[in-house]
Amino acid sequence: MTITLYTLRGADPACTFSPHCWKAVMALKHKGLDFEERPLRFTDIARTEGGFSKTVPMLRDDGHLVSDSFAIAEYLEETYPEHPSLFGGDGGRALSRFVEAWSQSVIHPAISRIAVHEIWELLDPEDQPYFRESRETRLGNTLEGMAANSPAEVAAFDARLEPLRALVKRQPFLGGEEPLFADYIVFGALQWLRIVSTRWPLAPEDGVTAWFERCLDLFEETGRKVRARAG
């Protein structure tokens, strides 16, 4: 049976921007598995698969449902062990857990503060009230207030990536010579920013930019198939 991956879209169905969904897309591509992507609006999620999950990504595989990007990666690793490994062993799985914690505590909040108003602009009108209320409550400011502070957040963003920058000076990917799920975790965050924001904070000569470009080129340039807003 076909694997179905539910992802998140803006008003334009082709604007699939969620960082967590991009992790799952790249994990499926890494495994070499065929799948159908079904982008949902925020307000569609609770009506999908009988309300199985309040968030995406959500994966259906032969009647089996999984939500959460890391849980999806672990499911794929265990269900398809004959395909390329996403973790390269227990050490890679532990590395991925650390990278996820760093990304979600440092990178994701910074991107939210940079781009939250721009994300709202890209959403279907039916999604905009939910998004405004939930994000203003979570971030403690209006969308317009965060937009006014965005230039300062862009200026501070470069320093937040220093751990990644130091590593990719030594090797092409977090996984070494080839990418692992740890790479897709950070890639998903920067792909989110690339798609939703007109403000790209990294210089072309930055080592992180070179790493990100390598990730965009993976799997027949899967990451490039969604247009960059800044471009």
SS3 call for 40: strand
pLDDT at 170 (0 to 100): 96
> Does position 205 have pLDDT exceeding 90, yes or no?
yes
> Does position 231 have pLDDT exceeding 90, yes or no?
no
> Does position 1 have pLDDT exceeding 70, yes or no?
no
Q: Torsion-angle region of residue 50: left (phi > 0), alpha (psi -120 to 50) or beta?
A: left
pLDDT at 15 (0 to 100): 97
- Both structure tokens of 204: 């072309």
Between CA 69 and CA 103 the distance in angstroms is 13
Residue 31, C-beta contacts closer than 8 angstroms, at least 6 positions apart: 76, 80, 83, 84, 86
Between CA 186 and CA 111 the distance in angstroms is 12
- Both structure tokens of 27: 């994990």
Q: Using a pLDDT cut of 70, give the percent of the chain over it.
A: 99
Neighbours of 154 (CB within 10 A): 19
> Does position 221 have pLDDT exceeding 80, yes or no?
yes
Range 60-76 average pLDDT: 97
Sign of CA dihedral 14, 20, 49, 47: negative
SS3 call for 178: coil
Q: Which domains does the chain have, with CATH numbers?
A: 3-79 (3.40.30.10), 90-225 (1.20.1050.10)
Range 13-38 average pLDDT: 98
Q: What integer best gives the mean pLDDT of the chain?
A: 97
Residue 104, C-beta contacts closer than 8 angstroms, at least 6 positions apart: none
pLDDT at 153 (0 to 100): 95
Span 69-104, pLDDT tens digits: 999 999 999 999 999 999 999 999 999 999 999 999
- The structure's pTM equals 0.97
Which contiguous run of DSSP H or E holds residue 30? helix 19-31
Span 94-143, pLDDT tens digits: 999 999 999 999 999 999 999 999 999 999 999 999 999 999 999 999 99
How far is CA 154 from each of CA 112, 197, 223, rounded to the nearest angstrom? 11, 11, 22
Between CA 17 and CA 180 the distance in angstroms is 21
Q: For the CA atoms of 129, 37, 196, 105, what is the dihedral angle to 10 degrees?
A: 80
Between CA 45 and CA 53 the distance in angstroms is 7
Neighbours of 43 (CB within 10 A): 15
pLDDT at 73 (0 to 100): 98
pLDDT at 230 (0 to 100): 75
128 HSE (CA, 13 A, CB side):
10
Span 133-181, pLDDT tens digits: 999 999 999 999 999 999 999 999 999 999 999 999 999 999 999 999 9
